[in-house]
Structure 1
Amino acid sequence: MAQSALMLQQCFKLGGLTLIPFADLDEQQVITVWQMRNHPDVAHWMSSGGEIPFEAHLAFMARQRQETHNFNYLCQDALGSIGVVSLHRLDWNNRLAWLGIYRNPSRRGEQLGAPLLAAVQQLAFDVARLHSLKLEVATDNERAIQAYQRAGFRREGAWREAVFRQDQQRFIDLLLMGITEQEWRHP
């Protein structure tokens, strides 16, 4: 497990993208991630919701090098930052992880979701050698659900009324989706 965790704490070039682990980000990249995550178009879809104070973000970034079960990467292409992908709650014994992803909201009009998903799937299955990749997505995030389905993820269930939408004063279900290595390799 320790060797596998160390292996995931390096830069990767996957699917035409460079994945830089949060532990290796420079000061400007740390700010870029914070700005993307706090952008209303991204923050709205996070189950934690709301704005993250910069001090809390810096504390989170400072813990990244010690992580053995949560791996976060800033993804870049030739034009700059396109988003963030993550393998969370990595279970080495059962070879599964939970997907985290968001695109750079300042790069409008570009199809960034597909390359981000392709890169994180390659990271999960070719690099980390996982058996399955899971995700949770708000049922009102239809665009993301469609993107996940195009990438091969299947519906597996739901967490009923799991997220409270402050702006709508109502609870939203989280759809559970997943893909196995076999499904990814042989769609």
Structure 2
Amino acid sequence: MIKKYVQSFLTGDKVILRKITKEDYESFSNVEEVMESRLLMNDSIPFPPTDAEHEKFLSEISSDKDEYMFAIELKDEKVFIGTISVYLVNWNNGTCHVGISIAPDSQGKGYGTDAMIVLLNFIFNYMNLNKVKLQVFGYNRRAIGSYEKCGFQLEGTLREELFRFGKYHDILVMGLIRKDWEKTLV
């Protein structure tokens, strides 16, 4: 069951980013337990976590001031569709990593691109960082296209780094520097 909410934090054209609340835990679990999502989001063995593991993960994120996870909510419908986060913040060098997870039935509709644009604005204009990095599985073409729309560029390839579907796949390393982001705002 996906719940509806009223509270918002950062607003895009299609989505808002807001804090995650206890009321989101069930919706979060529903998104994260879909095997299609698990195969796209991390490189560990895609075994579904327990509800207790989800709760522990969410409570730890909210207490770490160098990691910021937001709920992604549809702007008009106020429906939770996933999460987006900033993590591994290196304040000395002005860098961070980002990650996003969206329910499969909400993918391919521009919500992820919109959410990433809102998050990048937060990173560059509020956190004052200089570079944003991410890793994406080479077979996740839809995500790669979304990241490129946001201005990310390929910086490297970790060859045959991931074992999925009975064979090895590349992981792409992508980055976006503040000055390149600012060029897209003109």
Instruction: Settle same-fold status: TM greater than 0.5.
Output: yes
Q: Which residue of 1 aligns with 2:125?
A: 126
Q: Which residue of 2 aligns with 1:182?
A: 179
* AA at the equivalent of 1:97: C
Q: CA RMSD in A?
A: 1.8
Which runs of 5 or more residues in structure 2 are unaligned? Answer: 1-7
1:115 shift after superposition? 0.9
Q: 2:39 aligns with which of 39, 44, 48?
A: 44
TM-score, normalising length from structure 1?
Answer: 0.84
Which runs of 5 or more residues in structure 1 are unaligned? Answer: 1-10
Contact 1:14 1:123 in 2 (8 A): no
Q: Which residue of 2 aligns with 1:19?
A: 17
TM-score, normalising length from structure 2?
Answer: 0.84
Cα distance in 2 for partners of 1:108, 1:123 equals 22
Deviations 1:98-127 (A, max 9, x none): 110122323366321221111111121112
Contact 1:83 1:116 in 2 (8 A): no
Over 3 Å counting, the alpha-carbon distance change for 1:128 and 1:108 in structure 2 is closer
Contact 1:81 1:104 in 2 (8 A): no
* AA at the equivalent of 1:185: E
Q: Which residue of 1 aligns with 2:95?
A: 96
Contact 2:69 2:83 in 1 (8 A): yes
Task: Single out whichever of 144-153 and 11-20 deviates more from structure 2.
Answer: 11-20
Contact 1:152 1:183 in 2 (8 A): yes
Q: How many residues align?
A: 172
Deviations 1:142-179 (A, max 9, x none): 111111111110000022222221xx222211100000
Structure 2 SS opposite 1:44: helix
- Identical residues among aligned pairs (%): 24
Cα distance in 1 for partners of 2:177, 2:40 equals 24
Cα distance in 1 for partners of 2:95, 2:135 equals 14
1:40 shift after superposition? 2.2
* AA at the equivalent of 1:98: H
Cα distance in 1 for partners of 2:138, 2:94 equals 26
